[in-house]
Chains A and B, each alone.
Chain A
Amino acid sequence: MGRFRTNLLLCASTGCVSNKSLELKEAIEIELKKHSLQNEIKIILTGCNGFCANGPIMVVQPEGIFYQFLTVDDVPHLVEEHFLKGRPVEKLMYIPPKKETPVPKMSDIEFFKKQQLIALSNRGSIDPENIDEYIGKDGYRAMVKALTAMTPEEVIEEIKSSGLRGRGGAGFPTGRKWEICKNAREDEKFIICNADEGDPGAFMDRSIVESDPHCILEGMVIGAYAIGASAGFVYIRDEYPLALKRLIHAIKQAKKYGLLGKDILSTGFTFDISVNRGAGAFVCGEETSLIHSLEGNTPEPRTKPPFPAFSGYRQKPTNINNVETWANVPRIIQHGAKWYSEIGTETSKGTKVFSIVGKLKNTGLVEVPMGITMREIVFDIGGGILKDKKFKAVQIGGPSGGCIPDHLLDTPIDYESLTKAGAIMGSGGLIVMDEETCMVEVARYFLSFVQDESCGKCPPCREGTKHMLNILTEITEGRGKEEYIDLLQNMGMLIKETAICGLGNTSPNPVLTTIRYFRDEYEAHIKEKRCPARTCKTLIHYSILEDKCTGCHLCFKNCPTQAITGEVKKAHFITQQKCIKCGMCFDVCRFDAVRYE
């Protein structure tokens, strides 16, 4: 990066690209040329900074100035003011909620302050498509160290004593898993990187692959060396085209540099990685199902044991880890187990990447030390609830997880505390819900997801979740009966005990925790036929407040079913029989005259 006085780190990950960051790049290039600055200022396309909601994002280095919501129209002014005259443009900077003065530097912004980057240590600071930049940031040094100065046993010992646990959901100690696979008595062994990221509403793994693909490759080479595997696979979700492209590109570059493939760095160690795309089935994230999918067989899970460490891909010992788990490996080898194990809590070491989304002011991707509280994530990093509405719950762990209510917000994030609260660590999806989110409907949502994704092999999951879904639908549509809550709990417990894979036996969790913490909402739906969050369509109706309606006629024009009558400048009226409760009138009204309850 040397000869340029300024580097513009422009995010080119899925979020910012969808907010037109590539068009922005072109516009900046043109403008820089216009002022003959192209030899002084360089644009680097980087991976995700995490602050996706405010994209496109650009960080100006070395000063560390953070610009957000950039548009092509802002470019001429920005280039002239900041890059020519040296006056950073305040109106393009971040302004904290309820404040007026902007915060110029990225490092001073609350969203970034409490984060600690390990898995994402290169995010936003290197060009993910250029291996030299990864190497420039000490990339592949850990691999060299492992391959040339450590025995496989020493590598495993280091990972074991770091305390690293699997980031894909269950939190199994990674070093131990490696050791089991290493000790399995077979010549041929395989390793897999699970990049299927099925939890809807979570994008940690996509972001890691897009912003730093080489760290995963490096982690996998180290793992393969320790375990004694000669081939590896990355199984990546079909919905992630950009991550796929960057990964394939990274593998090509690494091979060209002799960092992957035959006789890596002349150490005699040979290891190759191939990439396989998923095809949109959630259950394929489950390890045995994933392996069946790789083999080209029907991707149904099977009962364990035998675990993949003994019998996995083509019945050979196979070690499978999540993307984020692999991303931690090079950093642990490089900085040492002691360094890593000093971060976090007694039982959960290191950091965890979370995608924080939903009804939150600052949505995006964050990496925080284990042990941080949910409150800090939601209110300090996340900036609190959108439109200052009231917080209701955080859903963690997706369809297998549970929700954390208000009174448990000070729960420190670690595997054990979350399980105690009825949730799970999961893969890192945090979905924040406010007073307008109906918890019964959320439970129904997750069950319909599971119903849809159940592979159908075992009856508890195939039939049980269907019945639970039917019951929840009855409740949300106002036909609930009082005995339904007990029934849901009993069925839930039964499915938990009898389904054959993790998909089925965790699927009742969202229902069970919402009953545990929000029983009153279930009761309101059942006994009073009322949805307190005003979400369940059958239980609400729209009306127009006569005294507020100015007769502007806008709702009349927009109503798709002509359910609204009224003349210009006179109060309007909704015919309930025609109303389909689409909420259009509420959305378009500028006078707060539409009410729903």
Chain B
Amino acid sequence: MNEQSEKIDQIIEKFKNEKGTIIGLMQDIHGEYRYLPEEVLLRVSAELDIPMAKLYTLATFYKSFRLEPVGKHHVRVCIGTACHVNGATKIVETLERELGVKSGQTTEDNQFTLETVNCLGACALGPLVLVDGEYHGKIDQGKLKKLLNKYR
């Protein structure tokens, strides 16, 4: 925690010096924790004199920000149009069934967080699943099971 606390100091300091954007600041924090912890937002709010309401408005407006921690593995399913017409709905349903969570949630054992995303820009390879930043293209129900087992 201490190390992270120092990182946050640096992030806040960087923002003060460079006059960066609030979004950039929040992205840096998000990069550190993979979500926006309330206590960190409170600190940012106090130190930079930005109302908490504004931070929350931004945090909930943008899809990339989470207010809850992610599990060990971050599974993101593309539901962009190209992936959609190639069967992304089935992929989401299968994952929800296999992991026992709805999209947006984290499994009880904290192993997987399931999310959907509107296009990852590799549309020619759809349907597409991204696990911890690694792309898995042309996925189907069978491949999905194997993939999950790899991370289980």
State whether A296 touches B85 (Cβ < 8 A). no
Q: With A200-B118, A276-B23, A355-B123 in contact, is A431–B135 under 8 Å at CB?
A: no
| Contacting residues, chain B, for A202 (C-beta < 8 A) | 119, 123
State whether A279 touches B124 (Cβ < 8 A). no
Nearest chain B CB to A503 CB, angstrom units: 13
Give the nearest-CB partner of B30 in chain A.
Answer: A279
State whether A359 touches B86 (Cβ < 8 A). yes
Q: State A445–B80 Cα separation when bound (angstroms).
A: 10
B27 an interface residue at 8 Å Cβ cutoff?
yes
State whether B124 touches A363 (Cβ < 8 A). yes
| Contacting residues, chain B, for A431 (C-beta < 8 A) | 81-82, 85
Contact digits for B113-141, partner A, Cβ 8 Å, 1 yes 0 no:
00001111111111000000111110011
| Contacting residues, chain A, for B7 (C-beta < 8 A) | none
Q: With A298-B58, A357-B82 in contact, is A15–B117 under 8 Å at CB?
A: no
Q: State A14–B83 Cα separation when bound (angstroms).
A: 16
State whether A206 touches B121 (Cβ < 8 A). yes
Contact of B119 among A55, A200, A299, A560 (CB under 8 A): A200
B42 an interface residue at 8 Å Cβ cutoff?
no
Q: State A237–B24 Cα separation when bound (angstroms).
A: 13
Q: Size band of the B side of the interface?
A: 35 or more
Contact of B135 among A17, A277, A455 (CB under 8 A): A17
A240 an interface residue at 8 Å Cβ cutoff?
yes
State whether A296 touches B137 (Cβ < 8 A). no
State whether A201 touches B80 (Cβ < 8 A). yes
State whether A18 touches B122 (Cβ < 8 A). yes
State whether A582 touches B94 (Cβ < 8 A). yes
Contact digits for A22-58, partner B, Cβ 8 Å, 1 yes 0 no:
0000000000000000000000000000001101000
Q: With A18-B136, A296-B23 in contact, is A281–B61 under 8 Å at CB?
A: yes
State whether A52 touches B121 (Cβ < 8 A). no
Q: With A276-B23, A358-B86, A582-B93 in contact, is A429–B64 under 8 Å at CB?
A: no
A19 an interface residue at 8 Å Cβ cutoff?
yes
| Contacting residues, chain A, for B121 (C-beta < 8 A) | 14, 197, 203, 206, 237, 239-240, 243
State whether A587 touches B141 (Cβ < 8 A). yes
State whether A429 touches B81 (Cβ < 8 A). yes
| Contacting residues, chain A, for B58 (C-beta < 8 A) | 296, 298
Nearest chain B CB to A281 CB, angstrom units: 5
State whether B136 touches A363 (Cβ < 8 A). no
State whether A19 touches B125 (Cβ < 8 A). yes
State whether B61 touches A299 (Cβ < 8 A). yes
| Contacting residues, chain A, for B65 (C-beta < 8 A) | 279-280
Give the nearest-CB partner of A282 in chain B.
Answer: B118
| Contacting residues, chain B, for A588 (C-beta < 8 A) | 142
| Contacting residues, chain B, for A17 (C-beta < 8 A) | 135
Contact digits for A275-311, partner B, Cβ 8 Å, 1 yes 0 no:
0111111100000000001111011000000000000
| Contacting residues, chain B, for A299 (C-beta < 8 A) | 61-62
Q: State A528–B123 Cα separation when bound (angstroms).
A: 34
| Contacting residues, chain A, for B22 (C-beta < 8 A) | 296
Q: With A201-B82, A358-B82 in contact, is A14–B135 under 8 Å at CB?
A: yes
State whether A239 touches B140 (Cβ < 8 A). no
State whether B124 touches A364 (Cβ < 8 A). yes
State whether A298 touches B81 (Cβ < 8 A). no
Contact digits for A554-584, partner B, Cβ 8 Å, 1 yes 0 no:
0000001000000000000000000000111
State whether A449 touches B124 (Cβ < 8 A). no
State whether B136 touches A200 (Cβ < 8 A). no
Q: With A279-B64, A281-B61, A433-B85 in contact, is A239–B23 under 8 Å at CB?
A: no
Give the nearest-CB partner of A365 in chain B.
Answer: B124
State whether B84 touches A280 (Cβ < 8 A). no
Q: State A102–B117 Cα separation when bound (angstroms).
A: 38
Interface residues of B in 45-100 (CB under 8 A from A): 57-58, 61-65, 79-86, 90, 93-94, 97
Nearest chain A CB to B122 CB, angstrom units: 5
State whether B61 touches A298 (Cβ < 8 A). yes
Contact of A201 among B23, B81, B134 (CB under 8 A): B81
Nearest chain A CB to B25 CB, angstrom units: 9
| Contacting residues, chain A, for B133 (C-beta < 8 A) | 241
Q: State A584–B142 Cα separation when bound (angstroms).
A: 9
| Contacting residues, chain B, for A239 (C-beta < 8 A) | 117, 119-121
Contact digits for A401-438, partner B, Cβ 8 Å, 1 yes 0 no:
00000000000000000000000000001010100010
| Contacting residues, chain B, for A199 (C-beta < 8 A) | 81, 119
| Contacting residues, chain B, for A241 (C-beta < 8 A) | 133
A460 an interface residue at 8 Å Cβ cutoff?
no
Nearest chain A CB to B45 CB, angstrom units: 14
State whether B135 touches A357 (Cβ < 8 A). no
State whether A445 touches B64 (Cβ < 8 A). no
A238 an interface residue at 8 Å Cβ cutoff?
yes
Nearest chain A CB to B136 CB, angstrom units: 7
Q: With A276-B21, A280-B63 in contact, is A582–B90 under 8 Å at CB?
A: yes
| Contacting residues, chain B, for A281 (C-beta < 8 A) | 61-63
Contact of B97 among A15, A53, A449, A560 (CB under 8 A): A560
Interface residues of B in 10-38 (CB under 8 A from A): 21-24, 26-27
| Contacting residues, chain B, for A455 (C-beta < 8 A) | 61
Q: State A402–B74 Cα separation when bound (angstroms).
A: 34
Q: With A279-B27, A588-B142 in contact, is A18–B125 under 8 Å at CB?
A: yes
Please give 14 more A-B residue pairs, beta carbons under 8 A apart, in addition to A237-B121, A363-B124, A449-B118.
Answer: A14-B121, A14-B122, A15-B122, A200-B81, A206-B121, A241-B133, A278-B64, A358-B82, A365-B124, A431-B85, A433-B85, A582-B93, A582-B94, A583-B141
Q: Which residues of A does B touch, CB under 8 Å?
A: 14-15, 17-19, 52-53, 55, 197-203, 206, 237-241, 243, 276-282, 293-296, 298-299, 355, 357-359, 363-365, 395, 398, 429, 431, 433, 437, 442, 445-446, 449, 453, 455, 560, 582-584, 587-588
Some 18 contacts from A to B, beta carbons below 8 A apart, are: A17-B135, A52-B125, A199-B81, A200-B79, A200-B81, A201-B83, A201-B119, A202-B119, A203-B123, A280-B63, A280-B117, A293-B23, A298-B61, A299-B61, A358-B81, A398-B81, A446-B81, A582-B94
